[in-house]
Amino acid sequence: MATIIKRLPENKQGKDYVVGDLHGCFSLLDVLLAKVHFDKQKDRLFSVGDLIDRGPESLHCLFLLEEPWFMAVCGNHESMCLDFFLPYRVNDTLKVSDCASSNLFFDNGGAWIEQYYQANRQCMTPEFNRGLDLLLDMPLILVVGEGENRFHVIHAELIRSQYNFAKTATWLNSDIDRWFSEQRIPSIVSENLLWSRTLMSGRFSKHPNATIQPGLSTTFCGHSYAPKPQKVLSHICVDTGAFLSSSEDIQESADFGLTLFDVQASRWYLASYQRHEIIQGEF
């Protein structure tokens, strides 16, 4: 069973970066790491999850989990993938043809797994099994550093289900610390950590102090894409629709791409399959 919340010390040797929803866009990450001169000996890269599905190189992205400098939280796509393969992990056999129609995982971009299916043996390739094992160890929350330097990495949102718009709409550091000591997150919270789009839907944008939630450290998240990173109630959403930029069918695909966020400098870099230059911005 995976550790639900992981804590990591501050990085005193190098820099910390957060990358948005990769969705198989491995080569865009390569471009961004070169741009910032990422040092694999000293720097760390945190992912907000959704490494797989929709884009061109899903398994490649999963293998990043084998790197000591890379850490990711579980996204809803990893969660759907794990659910899909649960019977396979128990029985060791799988009939993909039985599952492929109207399946939640397949309908949301999971059909790429078919290329790793060995129909004659009714199982996945050893290479794929290696990737699948890596999924089992992904936490829901990463807590990095302490005090003023503390930040979190999650997939979607720390929104409360019954939120008070004027008061506290999100869970706070104190809640995370309590869940950490119990190693247990209430199921309604885990559901929102994987799926919620309440904060990023724009309904908080007219709130006078809409960018900061007192009591909650900066919380990097993904899951809801926009052309640029957005900050709402201490959540910085770094999903800028990387997989959309790999599609030539979508008219506005050029506006989207993969974002790499330099935590200490509060600066972001965005690379797209459709553009040669990298766009930058600051918070």
Residue numbers at the binding site for Mn ion (CB under 5 A)? 50, 75-76, 223
Angle of helix 187-195 relative to helix 76-91, nearest 10 degrees?
110
Q: How far is the CB of 103 from Mn ion (least distance, A)?
A: 17
Rounded CA-CA distance 258/241 in Å is 7
The three state secondary structure string of 68-100 is: CCEEECCCHHHHHHHHHHHHHHHHCCCCHHHHC
Between residues 6 and 223, which has the closer beta carbon with respect to Mn ion?
223
Q: Is 211 strand, coil or helix?
A: coil
CB atoms within 10 A of CB 172: 17
Between residues 74 and 169, which has the closer beta carbon with respect to Mn ion?
74
DSSP 137-176: T--SEEEES-GGG-EEE-SS--B-SS--TTS--B--HHHH
Q: How far is the CB of 195 from Mn ion (least distance, A)?
A: 8
Q: Which helix (H) or strand (E) holds 237?
A: strand 235-237
Q: How far is the CB of 24 from Mn ion (least distance, A)?
A: 13
Which two structure tokens, joined as six digits, stand for 197? 């789009």
Rounded CA-CA distance 176/5 in Å is 8
Between residues 79 and 218, which has the closer beta carbon with respect to Mn ion?
79
Residue 66: name the closest of 158, 142, 133 by CA.
133
Give yes or no: 276 in active site. Answer: no
Q: How far is the CB of 69 from Mn ion (least distance, A)?
A: 23
Q: How far is the CB of 52 from Mn ion (least distance, A)?
A: 11
Rounded to the nearest 10°, the torsion over CA 10, 15, 16, 21 is -170
23, 60, 77, 223: which one is catalytic? 77
Between residues 196 and 213, which has the closer beta carbon with respect to Mn ion?
196
Q: Which residues of 192-210 are buried (b: 16+ CB within 10 A; e: fewer)?
A: bbbebebbbeeebeeeeee
Residue nearest to Mn ion (CB): 223
Between residues 145 and 246, which has the closer beta carbon with respect to Mn ion?
246
Between residues 117 and 196, which has the closer beta carbon with respect to Mn ion?
196
Phi, psi of 170 (to 5 degrees): -120, 165
Q: How far is the CB of 154 from Mn ion (least distance, A)?
A: 11
**Which residues are annotated as catalytic?**
77
